[in-house]
Amino acid sequence: MKPVIFGLSGLTVTADERRFFVEAEPLGFILFKRNIENRVQLLALTDELRAMTGRDDLPILIDQEGGRVARMGPPEWPAFPAGPAFDALYDVAPISAIEAVRAHAEATGVMLAEVGINVDCWPMLDIAQPDTAEIITIRALGREPMRVAAMGRAILDGLARAGVVGVVKHMPGHGRALVDSHLELPRVTADEAALEVDLEPFRRLADAPMGMTTHIVFDVWDAARPATLSPTVVEQVIRGKIGFDGLLMTDDIDMKALSGTAGEKAAAAIAAGCDVVLDCWGRMDEMVEIVERLDDISAVSRARLDRAMAGVTARRSDVAFAKLVAKRDALLALV
């Protein structure tokens, strides 16, 4: 098995993709809007991926947070609110906000599990700052670490109730970035004391099964390399200061914050200590280069994967989707 999660080009697995994936044995797959048409098609696709790999516990990922970050949406699935809605409720009723976001996450998990998706790249634990880039503020759970941690825990719990694994992101924190790392490389000049605020939600959820890095340069830790490619940040900050020992994946290595070829970036991320590379776009030439540059997954990373996925197929929500949505919406209406 190669330590990489690949995207697909379309609504079905092409013949070329099938041949490549069977030989390469990627750790898992991630789905986007280009891969999604309706429930029947999506369940057929996830069934096909599991049959192709022979792995019932195959990680099939998606970014399904609510708001703008929702790969499954209307008219096939309902639109869901984003993090700031729950942050606003927390201002007036903290316990209600936690219950609302837990119901929100469980409903999301039910929706995903129904179509064979078992990993959601969520919750986002980045602390919003007054000048944080919009890519984060439209999704953030708040500006206070304990609030973000409490709602992040509720999201992980809600997803788990539905048999879905959550991924905490973006380690060690994207909130101080002034630009979008999809488009350019952010640089954070804050000192270590200030960054303790950003680390705190991740510390509180250090037992999360999976986590995702961020493509940001933190001058105080490694002024030469973004976190994803920095052994110092991965080993000393994420594994050390935060204490995270779950499966650590990169953010999408195709984002413009990183430079180099796909294979170079993938190899550098694994060398830095990441367990898994995330390559989202399903470009065959890039996927081939990545596989050529990567060794098989390490025993340590494989153990982390097995821990993260243990029992996923056995956990299913016994609460109806409509009931969960109604509970969430009734609580959000308190604002």
The DSSP code for 278 is E
Say if pTM beats, i.e. exceeds, 0.95: yes
Closest CA to 2 of 283, 308, 263: 263
Is 170 a catalytic site residue? no
Q: Mean pLDDT by 10-residue block, N- to C-terminus, for the chain (335 residues)?
A: 98 98 98 98 98 96 97 97 98 98 97 97 96 91 97 97 97 92 94 97 98 98 98 98 98 94 98 98 97 98 97 71 97 97
Would you state the pLDDT for residue 248?
98
Pairing mode, strands 247-252 and 217-218? unpaired
Instruction: Quote the pLDDT of residue 79.
Output: 97
Does 91 participate in catalysis according to the annotation? Answer: no
> In whole angstroms, what is the distance from residue 186 CA to residue 176 CA?
9
- Which residues lie below 8 Å from residue 333, measured CB to CB, with a gap of 6+? none
Given the residues 57, 157, 180, 182, select the one marked as catalytic.
182
Q: What's the CATH fold of domain 2-169+259-332?
A: TIM Barrel (3.20.20)
Q: Using the 8-state DSSP alphabet, how is residue 93 labeled?
A: -
Cis peptide before 201 (omega within 30 of 0): no
DSSP run (H or E) holding 247? strand 247-252
Q: Which residues pair with 11 in a beta bridge?
A: none
DSSP assigned state of 142? -
Among candidate residues 87, 126, 251, 279, the one labeled active-site is: 251
* CA–CA dist 289, 36 (Å, integer): 26
